[in-house]
Amino acid sequence: MKTRSGISAGLPEDAVDAKKQSKYERIAMLYMADKENIDNLCIRFDAIAICASENNHALLRHHKGCFDGRG
């Protein structure tokens, strides 16, 4: 999840770059390595982007499966 108060620095979802994707993939793999009976488990990485506006409103976008976790 990433929140920004405007888009001058880019959209919130743009912050999930290749480096962050790799980090999240490693965390997920470590978690899964610690569990039993999940060999055939499919995982999905979603991103939630929130743009807050000046008038106390926000735009929320849910990007389902924004990257596949295959490196």
Tokens for 58, please give them. Answer: 């926000």
Residue 65 has φ and ψ, to the nearest 5°, of 60, 45
Q: Is the pLDDT of residue 3 over 70?
A: no
What are the tokens at 20? Answer: 């962050």
Query: What pLDDT shows up at residue 23?
Result: 92
pLDDT confidence of residue 31: 85
- Predicted confidence (pLDDT) per residue in 24-60, tens digit: 899 988 888 887 777 777 788 998 888 887 788 888 8
- Cα–Cα dist 12/22, whole Å: 18
Q: How confident is the model at residue 70 (pLDDT cuts 50, 70, 90)?
A: low
